[in-house]
A and B are shown apart, each in its own frame.
Chain A
Amino acid sequence: EPEVTQTPSHQVTQMGQEVILRCVPISNHLYFYWYRQILGQKVEFLVSFYNNEISEKSEIFDDQFSVERPDGSNFTLKIRSTKLEDSAMYFCASSEARTGGLTEAFFGQGTRLTVV
């Protein structure tokens, strides 16, 4: 069964450093998302991406965040200058376009980011 894969599974970084989280969405999917879950809190939407541009972003997704689909298969989330509060589980998801416009998003297993 096709799945969304994320690398690395765990990333430890020093405060102020840049990190890039990588995702390979399901191959025929057209919509891509990043979500995060801070420990003990709910899963929160960060950004959605379609047709090589951001379609929606939350207030969490400020100027230190960026997304890119560099080569038609990978989808990356970059955090330019990490802060302690960026420590969370980051989930990539993808969904396909479907007639009627209703479709579920499939999630990767997540990357645990720890900022020290």
Chain B
Amino acid sequence: DQQVKQNSPSLSVQEGRISILNCDYTNSMFDYFLWYKKYPAEGPTFLISISSIKDKNEDGRFTVFLNKSAKHLSLHIVPSQPGDSAVYFCAASLAGTASKLTFGTGTRLQVTL
């Protein structure tokens, strides 16, 4: 069941540059999308989210873009910092607060000096 896909397992970016992480989904009923960051041996940490009624949400260095027609979202990190090195998961949910999250497989971001 690959309803949420992250096709790039890894990404390497130089410090100060932009990191762009991509995510595709197949279920058109998803209406809330989230990005989580995960360090080894820790739980996922919420980063940023976007509702399906928007196409962009920005929070500091993090911006999420949503293209509903393409069923695609992306996370931009500008500027990238070494502390951003982690695995990034996109997740999606159906309407309602009690709804489960469907996660992608994750992209490992390495920010190099």
Residues of chain A having any CB pair with chain B under 8 Å: 4, 6, 31, 33, 35, 41-45, 48, 50, 55-56, 58, 91, 93, 95-98, 101-110
| Docked complex Cα distance between A106 and B46 (Å) | 7
Q: Does B60 contact A (CB under 8 A)?
A: no
User: A42-B105, A43-B89, A102-B51 are known contacts. Are A48 and B100 too (CB-CB below 8 A)?
Assistant: yes
| Residues B55-109 near A (CB distance < 8 A) | 89, 91, 95-106
Contact B97 A102 (CB under 8 A): yes
Contact A108 B96 (CB under 8 A): no
* B36 / chain A contacts, CB cutoff of 8 Å: 107
- Minimum Cβ distance to chain B for residue A77 (Å): 14
From A31, A96, A102, residue with most partner B Cβ within 10 Å = A102
- Minimum Cβ distance to chain B for residue A1 (Å): 11
Contact B104 A107 (CB under 8 A): no
Question: Which residue of A35, A45, A101 contacts B96 across the interface (Cβ within 8 Å)?
Answer: A101
| Docked complex Cα distance between A31 and B49 (Å) | 18
Residues of chain B having any CB pair with chain A under 8 Å: 32, 34, 36, 41-46, 49, 51, 89, 91, 95-106
Contact A104 B46 (CB under 8 A): yes
User: A42-B106, A102-B51, A104-B34 are known contacts. Are A91 and B43 too (CB-CB below 8 A)?
Assistant: yes
* B99 / chain A contacts, CB cutoff of 8 Å: 48, 56
Question: Which residue of B49, B98, B106 contacts A48 across the interface (Cβ within 8 Å)?
Answer: B98
Contact A95 B44 (CB under 8 A): no
| Docked complex Cα distance between A91 and B41 (Å) | 11
Question: Which residue of B41, B49, B51, B98 contacts A56 across the interface (Cβ within 8 Å)?
Answer: B98
| Docked complex Cα distance between A107 and B105 (Å) | 17
Contact A98 B97 (CB under 8 A): yes
Contact B97 A42 (CB under 8 A): no
* B51 / chain A contacts, CB cutoff of 8 Å: 102
A-B contact pairs, 22 of them (CB 8 A): A33-B101, A42-B105, A42-B106, A43-B89, A43-B91, A45-B100, A45-B101, A48-B98, A50-B98, A91-B44, A101-B95, A102-B97, A104-B34, A104-B46, A104-B49, A105-B46, A105-B101, A107-B36, A107-B45, A107-B46, A108-B43, A110-B43
